[in-house]
Structure formats: structure tokens, C-alpha cells
Amino acid sequence: MVLLSDADRSEVTLSRLAEDLALLNALGVRLVLIQSTRKAIDAYIQETGQHSAYHGPRRITDESLLDTISDLAGRYRLEFRGLFVRAEHRNRGNTPLISGSFVTAKPLGVHEGVDHKLTGSVRRVDSEAIQDQLNLGAVVYLDHLAHSPAGQLYNLASEEVATEAAMALHADKLILMGETATCIDSDGQAISELALPELSAVVPMQTQEMQRRLYAAERAIRGGVSRAHVLDASSDGAILTELMTTSGTGTLITAQPVATVRQARFDDLAGLLHLLAPLEAVGALVHRSREKLEAEIDHFSVCEQDGRILGSSALYPLDQGVAELAALAVDPDKSHQSIGSRLLQHIEAEAKEQGIHTLFVLTTLASDWFKERGFIQVAVDELPSNRQALYNYQRNSLILKKQI
Ligand SMILES: CC(C)(COP(=O)(O)OP(=O)(O)OC[C@H]1O[C@@H](n2cnc3c(N)ncnc32)[C@H](O)[C@@H]1OP(=O)(O)O)[C@@H](O)C(=O)NCCC(=O)NCCS
């Protein structure tokens, strides 16, 4: 589910976005798009010197404003369709962009004596009809205007439509594009990942526009959507970077704190021992005493979630440009969640920074795992001589090597 912001309507930005979405769709990502027109409506109201009435955060829509919004929404839809058709054509695809009456509205009504007129709210999302279109391979495009069963058109908040649709569709992700890429902390630094329990402390530091997106993210996650991302609408490739790499440009919001990979510290020792002991017991890893671990802590990285050590890896330089990756371990309760892959990526990045070009790993039980990640098996004599001298023939580990 992607909320398209109108913060940057330049043709370059929009056509790149259409290309990225066409590419994601070609890769099998099922897409439902919802277009916001808020920025353009604000600009129109300012240009024409009109007064835009609000009650709390909601704009009150009268008939003349609804006409303007309908024109805008229709124009945006056609413009985006043109760009999407062009992107599909370039990629030799022919995915249809389908829009229709997938959302039913209801009037917001009178609140605290204020009549919201033609400002509405979501009454129902026809998730089955949307799923049918997605199953046929279409990309679905929603407006933030919808009719009530009585046939009256209402102006809905685009964030609300995105959130309700994401929940009704049990979407994996809600992507909220907008004016800025990331949430910021009290020092003005970008926050890359946020868990719901941290959200309330962070919200007051954000712009009003970001706050709207964060409330939408929170509601969606509480409603069962796994993750929400806030992204900068004008940043080239933001959506691809966020979804296809481990280091996105926006802020990722999840229900629980996300596991982070970082340099190990002394206070990780107990967690590390707890993680490594069972794997040492079955012979997957070489035994390290507490003293040895403490002495070598600077070589270790850990994956931590909410104070719990879920994984580890270590990097030992062996020779000029050559190092050994060791003690790669993941808590069995957390296996198959890409923690091992993230730790490997982290160690490879760290090694590159240190000018390492060749990584060795010695393993008894995980050779296939490393082979699937670009390592090849080599003979003992390929190890640097200082490591060969320490090779334990009884343990008989397989030796794997990767050029990074
Ligand atoms: C190997 C290990 C680090 C993988 O961690 P992980 O977080 O589960 O790995 P990822 O989630 O990134 O990858 C999961 C994939 O690897 C596969 N896999 C896991 N362990 C494997 C093994 N020992 N051999 C081959 N494949 C393995 C899984 O089946 C899964 O594949 P799939 O997605 O096709 O089902 C973890 O199983 C482990 O701690 N092993 C014991 C310690 C060890 O042997 N370390 C290596 C010596 S340094």
C-alpha cells in the first residue's frame, strides 16, 4: 500500500516514481496506490484567497471546494496513468492501472456543533474487489474521494484511505510518502527505525505533515499491518532503496523494536555467552571462555533486539588484506529471519572498510549457507600461514573463502 504525496509534482520525480513502481510490480510486489492532493489544495486555497475552515485536523469541504478537489484528483489520476503506461511500455509490460469505486464513504457529520459538510470518512473498503484486481496482476489506484451509498461524493483524508485499505487488505507494508524522508530525534538527527512504544515521545518533534503520517502508521500497525515506512516523495529511488536494501532512506515503523546490528560491548558478554554456549556444545562453534571472549570483544558484532542478543559474528584480521569471519551465530528461536545474512553483510562492510579483500570462514555445519552467499571451498594451504599453523585437523572444519 503506497500513499503518493503531491509534495513534489515535477515530471522528473513523478516519472521516476512510476518507473520504480512498475519495476516493483514486475518483481511481483502487489501494489495499491492512493494519491494525496493536500498540497495542491492548500496552494489553490491560498492563491484564490479563500478561507479554508478546519475543525481539529480535518478540513471542512464545501461544494465549491469539492469541485476543485474532484478536478485535481481526476487530473492527477490521468497524469499518473500516463506516466505508468509509459513506464510499463518501456519495461515491455502491460500491467493495467485500475481505479474504481473500491472505497465507500460516509459523512463525518456534525462534531462539537461543527458541520463537516462534504468531508467524509471511510465506511467500507471492498478488499475482495481489490484483491481480485491484484490477483489478475493489476496495480490498483485509489482516490481520496469516495461516494456514500446514497451517491454523495465526499472528500476523505488520503492517509485514512491508505490506512483503512492497508488494514482491510492485510497489507505487509504501508508506505507513506511525504515532504520529508525521516522522523527526527530531539537533536534533529534522522531516525531510521522506530517501534510503536517509542512513537509517542517522538511525535511532538515532527512537522504536522509528518505527524499525520505517523498517526496513520500507528493505526495501520495496530490494525495488523506489519510495517510502515515514511519516505521523501522527491528522493530519487527512495521506494526501491527502502524495500530492496537493508539501509533505507526513510523511517521504518514497526510494532516491536527492530533488531539492530552493532559493534559488541562489554555489557553484551552475558548475552553472547548465552548465545554461543549451546552452539559450542554441538560443535558448530569453537569454545571460547568468558576471559577469551572478553579479551576479543572488539572483534565481535552483535544483533540486538530490546536488550536481547540474537546473533553474533566476529572479524579477525589474519594477514595484509585477509581476515577470518568467525562465531557467526543466530539464536535458534530467531533463525530464518535473515539475522545471519544481516550479520554477514555487516562483517563484509566492516572488512571492506578495513581494506580487507579476502574473507575466510571455517565451519563444520554451515558450509552450504556460506556457499549460497558467494563463498567457495578451498584447501587448508590457501589459509595464510599463521592461521594454517592453528588449523585443528581433528575438528576438520571446511574452509571457505570469499573475495569481497
Ligand atoms: C548459519 C546461521 C548463522 C544462519 O542464520 P539465519 O539467521 O537463520 O540465516 P538467514 O535467515 O539469513 O538464512 C536462512 C536460510 O539459510 C538456511 N540455513 C540455515 N542454516 C543453514 C545451514 N547450517 N546450512 C545451510 N543452510 C542453512 C535456511 O534454511 C534458510 O534458507 P531458506 O530461506 O531457503 O529456507 C545459523 O543457522 C547458525 O547460527 N548456525 C550455527 C552456527 C554456525 O554454524 N555458524 C557458522 C560457523 S562461523
Q: Residue 245: pLDDT band by 50, 70, 90 thresholds? A: low
Residue 26: CB atoms within 10 Å: 14
- Identify whether residues 72 and 44 lie together within a single domain: yes
- Identify whether residues 208 and 323 lie together within a single domain: no
Residue 189 is part of a domain; what is its CATH number?
Answer: 3.40.1160.10
- Residue 86: predicted pLDDT: 96
- Report whether 210 contacts 245 (CB < 8 A): no
- Identify whether residues 111 and 243 lie together within a single domain: yes
User: Which residues are registered as beta bridge partners of 317?
Assistant: 323
Find where cell 484528483 sits. 73
Domain boundary among 206, 225, 254: 254
- Residue 382: predicted pLDDT: 95
pLDDT digits (tens, 9 = 90+) for 102-125: 999 999 989 888 899 999 999 999
C-beta of 337 in contact with ligand 1 (< 6 A): yes
Residue 316 is part of a domain; what is its CATH number?
Answer: 3.40.630.30
Sheet holding 139-142, edge to edge: 97-98, 139-142, 32-35, 2-4, 173-178, 227-232, 251-254, 193-195
C-beta of 286 in contact with ligand 1 (< 6 A): no
pLDDT digits (tens, 9 = 90+) for 312-326: 999 999 999 999 999
151: left (phi over 0), alpha (psi -120 to 50) or beta: left
Question: What stretch of H or E contains 326?
Answer: strand 322-330
pLDDT digits (tens, 9 = 90+) for 274-330: 999 999 999 899 999 999 999 999 999 999 987 899 999 999 999 999 999 999 999
pLDDT digits (tens, 9 = 90+) for 186-231: 888 888 889 898 899 999 999 999 999 999 999 999 999 989 999 9
Question: What percent of the chain is predicted at pLDDT more than 90?
Answer: 76
Structural domains of the chain, count:
2
Q: Kindly tell me if the per-residue pLDDT of 401 is higher than 80.
A: yes
Taking the complete model, does pTM exceed 0.85, yes or no? no
- Mean of the per-residue pLDDT values for the chain? 93
- Residue 54: predicted pLDDT: 85
Pocket test for ligand 1, best of 336, 338, 360, 362 (most atoms within 8 A of CB): 336
C-beta of 310 in contact with ligand 1 (< 6 A): no
- Identify whether residues 280 and 366 lie together within a single domain: yes
C-beta of 365 in contact with ligand 1 (< 6 A): yes
Residue nearest ligand 1's atom 15 by CA = 336
pLDDT digits (tens, 9 = 90+) for 336-365: 888 999 999 999 999 999 999 999 999 999
Residue nearest ligand 1's atom 29 by CA = 336
**CA 361 / ligand 1 centre spacing (Å):** 14
C-beta of 326 in contact with ligand 1 (< 6 A): yes
- Residue 176: predicted pLDDT: 96
Q: For ligand 1, what atom is nearest to the CA of residue 284?
A: 44
